[in-house]
Amino acid sequence: MANKKSPPPPNGLDLAPIGNGRVAALVNSHGRIVWWCFPRLDSDPVFSHLLAGDGDKGFCDVVLDGKTTATSAYVRNTAIIETILEDDNGNAVKITDFAPRFMRFERAFHPAQILRRIEPLRGVPRIAIRLRPTFDYGKPADCQAIGSNHMRFEGGANVLRLTTDAPLSYIAHETPFALTRPLTLILGPDEPLQAAVDTVSREFLELTRDYWRLWVRGLGTPLEWQSAIIRAAITLRLCHFEETGAIIAAHTTSIPEAPNTQRNWDYRFCWLRDAYFVVRALNRLGATETMESYLNFIATIAVDVEQSLRPVYGIIHNQPLDERIATDLAGFQGMGPVRIGNQAAEQLQHDAYGSVVLAISQMFIDERLPRMGNEFLFRRMEPLGHQARRLYLEPDAGPWEYRGRQHIHTHSATMCWVACDRLARVASLLGLKDRAAYWMGHADKLRSDILKRAWSERWGALAGALDHDDLDASVLLLSDLGLLPATDERFRKTCAVIGKELNRNGFMMRYTAEDDFGAPETSFLVCQFWYADALAAIGEREKAREIFTDILSRRNSFGILSEDIHPETGKLWGNIPQTYCMAGIINTGMLVSRSWEDAWSTPQGGTE
């Protein structure tokens, strides 16, 4: 199934996130900051150039006179990016971008702040610093004040402050000047610094570098593809809003799933199903603090038994996600609309119940957690099971969030079964025999109904919805979720049919039937990971490894994946970084990697 063609340039998505658990920004391969939501992951972007079309606004960059080359990469095992610009006279500049993240006064220090350090690397380079923030989704900001070492920008609900040791007049007028010493730009809230700019810059950089390297040292990586998996883990960490525990699906909004299709969505929110995959991936690496934080987030949601679960929540769970259009932004490469908020929050997606129960169940089995689950927590979970039992045969929008139709989706029904099944298992662990029998009885009934009604005689495989024949890649998860074993002939046949019928030029489509916007054009990349996982489960391990290594070759130059890939052009599309895909790098990589015991006994593989 793997496509052997060389991957093309990543279609304007050669972007890398920096962040610290409160804010995140995207830097391109020339050192331009093109996206930054401030002061939170879901806020108005003060750097909105990514979605400005041809508009010359919403960015921060360094212009080197006579520039000939730009080289950009992460500092190994960190979320720090270094960009080197060279000119035609041999002069060079190094730009270091990062968001402060370290421990201070026995607590996490991660302000709504990004730092940009600009250093002469060779010769006497001549540069101009351009700072063009926006407010209210695309409106140019006004500089309201210039002090002795700071500038204030206003235009929305927040004030952005630049504190710097660079010449402010040169920045204000974008005037070229000779760079003879290191300079720093500190962008963040309207608060004064407590020390000299250069001192803060050097200290924060060193402490942030040490923080990430220490965090990476605690990861339990597999033998193969370690650098790819470490980069994925750091990226997922940057999608975690630590204050509440929410895990967002991506840092961006409205990068189209395919060119000129209107499939533009805001992903800066917490989807319960996506977040589970992220937690699972980081858990496998031993990074349990994200799980602990996320469990607090969903516990806050789940205890409100009077309200039905929504599929997606804001990073502050009770904030509305009403969808609207940002008219001052033309969209990625001019392909609007730019959407703010997400209508999916209003949809019925019954898999939410299973996603929550599946996540909370970890508290009953993971001895690494400081506080384990108990009978009281189990009783609080049972209303979720009752809802799942009631809704499993009710139509919903499904995992792909159809806006114009509803079916009894196989994945949604299966996740309702998951809720009942895991409640039975938890009850058994707690010695609650009557509750275990109660929930297992319901789980058995749900399982029987799903497997009977999801089977398509036309395809000889499990379909995407009960009593329908449309194929859907989400059924590749059924064995992993435990609905039936990988050795079951029905699952093996399903893998074979999906691998053939949903294959487009070596890439897996999530479905091929027309939806609200017509027939889909691009492959949803996480389905490629699911297919590799399913192949490994049924014993086709080498084929799974081949698919996995091909996916890694599709990452951008920073090791990041977006949501989609075009099966004809091989170009990346969709919001970035996509947590589903970055989690897939970890989950699939750990599944198909050789063991550490094989390190010296077999030929080296797993090249990146």
Looking at residues 188-204, what average pLDDT do you find?
95
Q: Please indicate, yes or no, if residue 231 is contained in any of the structural domains.
A: no
Q: Please indicate, yes or no, if residue 133 is contained in any of the structural domains.
A: yes
What pLDDT, on the 0 to 100 scale, is given for residue 10? 61
Listed range (2-11, 103-112, 315-324) with the worst mean pLDDT: 2-11
Going by pLDDT thresholds of 50, 70 and 90, the confidence category of residue 347 is very high
Give percent of the chain above pLDDT 90.
83
Going by pLDDT thresholds of 50, 70 and 90, the confidence category of residue 7 is low
Whether omega before 337 lies within 30 degrees of 0, making that bond cis, reads yes
What pLDDT, on the 0 to 100 scale, is given for residue 314? 97
Q: Please indicate, yes or no, if residue 131 is contained in any of the structural domains.
A: yes
Average pLDDT, the chain: 93
Extract the tokens encoding 595: 């063991």
Listed range (7-16, 252-261, 361-370, 449-458) with the worst mean pLDDT: 7-16
Going by pLDDT thresholds of 50, 70 and 90, the confidence category of residue 404 is confident
Q: Please indicate, yes or no, if residue 531 is contained in any of the structural domains.
A: no
Going by pLDDT thresholds of 50, 70 and 90, the confidence category of residue 600 is confident
Going by pLDDT thresholds of 50, 70 and 90, the confidence category of residue 489 is very high
| Cβ atoms of residues 189 and 150 within 8 Å | no
| Cβ atoms of residues 295 and 276 within 8 Å | no
What pLDDT, on the 0 to 100 scale, is given for residue 581? 97
372 versus 267: the higher-pLDDT residue is 267
What pLDDT, on the 0 to 100 scale, is given for residue 19? 98
3-state secondary structure of 191: coil
| Cβ atoms of residues 524 and 575 within 8 Å | no
Going by pLDDT thresholds of 50, 70 and 90, the confidence category of residue 350 is very high
Highest mean pLDDT (candidates 210-214, 307-311, 374-378): 210-214
pTM: 0.96
Q: Please indicate, yes or no, if residue 363 is contained in any of the structural domains.
A: no
Going by pLDDT thresholds of 50, 70 and 90, the confidence category of residue 598 is confident
What is the number of domains present in the chain?
A: 1
Q: Please indicate, yes or no, if residue 266 is contained in any of the structural domains.
A: no
The Cα angle at residue 151 between residues 133 and 172, in degrees rounded to 5: 70
List pLDDT tens digits, range 35-93.
999 999 999 999 999 999 988 999 999 999 999 999 999 999 999 999 999 999 999 99
- Beta strand 134-135 with 139-140 is antiparallel
Going by pLDDT thresholds of 50, 70 and 90, the confidence category of residue 441 is very high
| Cβ atoms of residues 358 and 418 within 8 Å | yes
CA–CA distance, 597 with 503 (Å, rounded to integer): 35
Q: Please indicate, yes or no, if residue 116 is contained in any of the structural domains.
A: yes
- CA neighbours closer than 13 Å in the CB half-sphere of residue 463: 20
| Cβ atoms of residues 577 and 562 within 8 Å | yes
- CB under 8 Å to 147, separation ≥6 — which residues? 168
Q: Which of 223, 207, 284, 272 is nearest to 245 (CA)?
A: 272
What pLDDT, on the 0 to 100 scale, is given for residue 608? 58
- pLDDT surpassing 80 at residue 9: no
Going by pLDDT thresholds of 50, 70 and 90, the confidence category of residue 597 is confident
Tell me the one-letter amino acid at 485: P
- pLDDT surpassing 60 at residue 3: no
What pLDDT, on the 0 to 100 scale, is given for residue 8? 56
**Domain boundaries, position 158:** 15-215
- CA neighbours closer than 13 Å in the CB half-sphere of residue 393: 11
Q: Please indicate, yes or no, if residue 352 is contained in any of the structural domains.
A: no
List pLDDT tens digits, range 279-313.
999 999 998 888 889 988 988 887 765 678 999 99
CA–CA distance, 228 with 552 (Å, rounded to integer): 8
- pLDDT surpassing 90 at residue 216: yes
Looking at residues 399-416, what average pLDDT do you find?
92
